[in-house]
């Protein structure tokens, strides 16, 4: 009898594991990185269009002055400055797969935020403007990808406009990013003569149909090479010659090298006119890795079939102006999430009810009833959660490696200039710290009333100031601070450093101690005079 029960239980467990593995295999979770204006938002819209998640009329959702529908431009600040500060997620299905597209900020000042988002994806698409190539922010964000060892696909966009020589663009990827480009498609013509691409895998010509503003899913016609040679004229022959050169140069697609982050498959197209977007999406489905085992804090892989576990990669307040709320975004790493289940936060050992789990698409929310490895869910009002937290089903403990804080290089001293608002100021600063909007450092003499705000880039201060003022009602004064470089230190070295001139020691909320220096030269000098001091580099130091 008991052996029967055991065998039924083990069969049931293996059915669950099979379903979990199958569901994970259907997922592709990725992000887009690009310099502002390269076309990330337009490409996102066209992905949704291809996936049937937007109607054709919505192809123009991002009409001038109204970037609301698919961008994560949730706050007034983002709209006013035309930058995307927050990170959102959209989920859509395509060819029997479930795609989770996580948004990343386009500006390198938010590269720490990008890094956290990239902790939750399995691949990234790098969008380049065909007329500009690699731009400053592309490079910064790419470095973040490299730090996280994420496989990257490249989409060279805006080919409907005059563009640079495609071979030159490939050289730039190779030289500036030290990444081998492997063109999967090759453009036939550019600007108004851009008519399609050669698919190097088959040699066929993929012809695009022009539709008004690319507002439909975009018809494509596959034409054999011989036929294209007869109909496409000089553009075809030029493109063929370039492809022969590429073949000779050995720029073949090697999926292992792609997964190792050494090689990038390259696609050409135009997001605006919806040329080449579907080919890119097909490649994401076919080439980008599905969710797989994640290493825990002890480097042990936790398979996707294990019990439910997730990582918090983003915490965000007031995403919905109508409700004051706080959403923790989780990426499911293993198992199945079911709304209503009780889960544990590994750091606090507190349990959380998950009645208010949502999938969030821009501003729209719908209830998430279940989710699998690779999916993202938003937990509303999960007040205690912090970026990097591990969550797991009761009895299935796991801890993830810490998400490291980036090296700050800009600093401000913050004060509340209205003493009656001191409480709001303190709680606002704590909130921004928990969300990772800025890093908050405290000196023994400054305490809660004048913390040091530390950032990777100064735009983070604009966001912090705006949010303190408008969300928390705390008017804030920020004065420039003299430091330019920070190092991690320990208690013993902190005591020694505090007695030295030209260095300030401050503590983060997580207990880490940072030594702040006005110049790298002074840091180097102190280090050479006191080699025993612990002064560790932080990630992302430029
Ligand atoms: P971003 O999210 O990376 O910042 O870029 P976004 O998609 O907002 O695109 C920036 C500008 O580039 C937009 O024009 C957009 O229409 C245009 N664009 C994007 N992809 C293409 C493309 O493939 N071809 C061409 N020709 N243009 C493209 P805008 O005038 O700034 O805004 P809007 O009036 O179109 O909203």
* Ligand 1 contact via 36 beta carbon (within 6 Å): yes
Of the candidates 330, 308, 406, 401, the one whose C-alpha atom is nearest the C-alpha of residue 111 is 406
Tell me what pLDDT residue 106 has. Answer: 62
Q: Are residues 273 and 185 in the same domain?
A: yes
- Residue 10 inside a domain? The answer is no
Give me ligand 1 centre to Cα 159, in Å: 12
Write out the H or E segment, with its range, that includes residue 22.
Answer: helix 2-26
Q: Are residues 369 and 430 in the same domain?
A: no
- Residue 535 inside a domain? The answer is no
128: domain CATH number is 3.40.50.300
- Residue 534 inside a domain? The answer is no
| Cβ 440 vs Cβ 509: under 8 Å | yes
- Residue 11 inside a domain? The answer is no
Give the torsion sign (CA, 200, 201, 206, 211). negative
Domain count, the chain: 3
Nearest CA to ligand 1 atom 6: 39
- Residue 276 inside a domain? The answer is yes
Nearest CA to ligand 1 atom 34: 64
Tell me what pLDDT residue 463 has. Answer: 86
* Ligand 1 contact via 200 beta carbon (within 6 Å): no
Domain that holds residue 310: 294-393
Half-sphere exposure of 90 (CA within 13 A, CB side): 25
Q: Are residues 384 and 444 in the same domain?
A: no
| Distance, CA of 110 to CA of 112 (rounded, Å) | 5
- Residue 491 inside a domain? The answer is yes
Which atom of ligand 1 sits closest to the CA of residue 269?
Answer: 23
| Distance, CA of 488 to CA of 121 (rounded, Å) | 28
The residue from 287, 315, 345 where one domain ends is 287
* Ligand 1 contact via 256 beta carbon (within 6 Å): no
| Distance, CA of 192 to CA of 65 (rounded, Å) | 26
* Ligand 1 contact via 362 beta carbon (within 6 Å): no
- 67: which 2 tokens? 């970037």
Tell me what pLDDT residue 20 has. Answer: 92
List the Cα angle 219/222/223 in 5-degree steps: 130
DSSP-assigned beta bridge partners for residue 336: 372
451: domain CATH number is 3.30.70.3280
Antiparallel, parallel or unpaired: β 476-480 and 390-393? unpaired
Give me ligand 1 centre to Cα 271, in Å: 8
Q: Are residues 414 and 515 in the same domain?
A: yes
First CA to last CA across the chain, in angstroms?
66
The three-state secondary structure class of 438 is coil
Q: Which of 32, 34, 35, 37 to mutate to test the pocket of ligand 1 (most atoms within 8 A of CB)?
A: 37
Tell me what pLDDT residue 326 has. Answer: 76
Q: Are residues 228 and 270 in the same domain?
A: yes
Mean pLDDT by 10 residues, the chain (542 residues): 65 76 96 89 86 54 34 41 50 90 75 83 96 88 83 97 95 95 94 92 88 61 88 90 90 92 96 92 96 94 96 77 72 92 92 71 56 88 83 92 83 91 92 87 81 90 89 91 94 93 91 93 94 88 64
* Ligand 1 contact via 276 beta carbon (within 6 Å): no
Which atom of ligand 1 sits closest to the CA of residue 35?
Answer: 3
Question: Could you tell me the pTM of the whole model?
Answer: 0.83
Find tokens 């990257």 and name the residue.
152
- Residue 336 inside a domain? The answer is yes
Of the candidates 181, 204, 375, the one whose C-alpha atom is nearest the C-alpha of residue 279 is 204
Give me ligand 1 centre to Cα 527, in Å: 48
Q: Are residues 213 and 324 in the same domain?
A: no
- Residue 129 inside a domain? The answer is yes
The residue from 254, 287, 320 where one domain ends is 287
Give me ligand 1 centre to Cα 270, in Å: 10
Nearest CA to ligand 1 atom 16: 272
The residue from 268, 287, 306 where one domain ends is 287
Q: Are residues 144 and 244 in the same domain?
A: yes
List the Cα angle 492/494/498 in 5-degree steps: 130
Q: Are residues 277 and 301 in the same domain?
A: no
Which atom of ligand 1 sits closest to the CA of residue 271?
Answer: 23
Q: Which conformational region is residue 39 in: left (phi greater than 0), alpha (psi within -120 to 50 degrees), or beta?
A: left
Q: Are residues 300 and 262 in the same domain?
A: no
| Distance, CA of 110 to CA of 131 (rounded, Å) | 25
Phi, psi (deg, nearest 5) at residue 500: -95, 155
| Cβ 190 vs Cβ 163: under 8 Å | yes
Q: Are residues 351 and 436 in the same domain?
A: no
Q: Are residues 241 and 130 in the same domain?
A: yes
Q: Are residues 340 and 479 in the same domain?
A: no
Tell me what pLDDT residue 303 has. Answer: 96
Which atom of ligand 1 sits closest to the CA of residue 43?
Answer: 7
Of the candidates 488, 482, 504, the one whose C-alpha atom is nearest the C-alpha of residue 540 is 488
* Ligand 1 contact via 64 beta carbon (within 6 Å): yes
Tell me what pLDDT residue 8 has. Answer: 66
């Amino acid at each position: 009898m008991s052996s029967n029960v055991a065998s039924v239980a083990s069969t049931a467990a293996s059915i669950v594991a099979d379903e979990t593995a199958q569901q994970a295999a259907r997922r592709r979770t990725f992000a887009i990185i690009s310099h502002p204006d390269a076309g990330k938002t337009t490409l996102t819209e066209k992905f949704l269009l291809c996936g049937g998640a937007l109607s054709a009329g919505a192809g123009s959702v991002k009409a001038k002055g109204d970037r609301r529908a698919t961008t994560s431009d949730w706050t007034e600040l983002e709209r006013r400055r035309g930058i995307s500060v927050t990170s959102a997620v959209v989920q859509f299905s395509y060819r029997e797969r479930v795609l989770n597209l996580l948004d990343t900020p386009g500006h390198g000042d938010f590269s720490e935020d990008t890094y956290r988002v990239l902790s939750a994806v399995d691949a990234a698409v790098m969008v380049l403007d065909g007329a500009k190539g690699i731009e400053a922010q592309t490079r910064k964000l790419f470095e973040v990808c490299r730090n996280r060892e994420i496989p990257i696909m490249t989409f060279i966009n805006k080919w409907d406009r005059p563009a640079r020589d495609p071979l030159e663009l490939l050289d730039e990827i190779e030289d500036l990013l030290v990444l081998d480009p492997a063109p999967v498609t090759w453009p036939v013509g550019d600007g108004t003569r851009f008519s399609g691409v050669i698919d190097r895998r088959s040699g066929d010509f993929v012809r695009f149909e022009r539709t008004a503003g690319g507002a439909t899913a975009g018809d494509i016609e596959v034409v054999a090479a011989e036929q294209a040679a007869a109909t496409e004229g000089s553009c075809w022959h030029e493109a063929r010659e370039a492809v022969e050169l590429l073949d000779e140069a050995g720029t073949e697609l090697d999926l292992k090298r792609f997964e190792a982050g050494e090689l990038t498959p390259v696609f050409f197209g135009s997001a605006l006119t919806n040329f080449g977007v579907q080919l890119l999406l097909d490649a994401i489905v076919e080439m980008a890795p599905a969710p797989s085992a994640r290493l825990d804090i002890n480097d042990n892989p936790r398979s996707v079939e294990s019990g439910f576990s997730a990582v918090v990669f983003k915490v965000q307040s007031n995403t919905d102006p109508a409700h004051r709320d706080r959403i923790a975004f989780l990426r499911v790493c293993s198992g199945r999430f079911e709304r209503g289940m009780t889960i544990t936060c590994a750091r606090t050992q507190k349990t959380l009810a998950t009645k208010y789990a949502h999938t969030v698409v821009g501003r729209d929310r719908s209830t998430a009833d279940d989710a699998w490895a690779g999916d993202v869910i938003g937990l509303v009002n999960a007040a205690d959660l912090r970026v990097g937290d591990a969550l797991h089903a009761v009895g299935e403990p796991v801890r993830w490696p810490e998400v490291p804080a980036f090296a700050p290089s800009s600093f401000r001293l913050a004060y509340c200039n209205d003493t009656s608002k001191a409480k709001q100021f303190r709680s606002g600063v704590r909130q921004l710290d928990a969300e990772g909007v800025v890093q908050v450092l405290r000196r023994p003499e400054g305490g809660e009333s004048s913390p040091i705000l530390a950032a990777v880039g100064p735009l983070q201060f604009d966001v912090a100031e705006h949010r303190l003022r408008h969300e928390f009602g705390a008017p804030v004064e920020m004065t420039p601070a003299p430091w330019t470089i920070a190092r991690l230190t320990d208690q013993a070295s902190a005591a020694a450093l505090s007695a030295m001139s030209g260095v300030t020691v401050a503590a983060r909320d997580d207990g880490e101690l940072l030594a702040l220096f006005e110049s790298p030269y002074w840091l180097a000098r102190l280090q050479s005079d006191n080699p025993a001091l612990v002064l560790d580099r932080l990630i992302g130091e430029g």
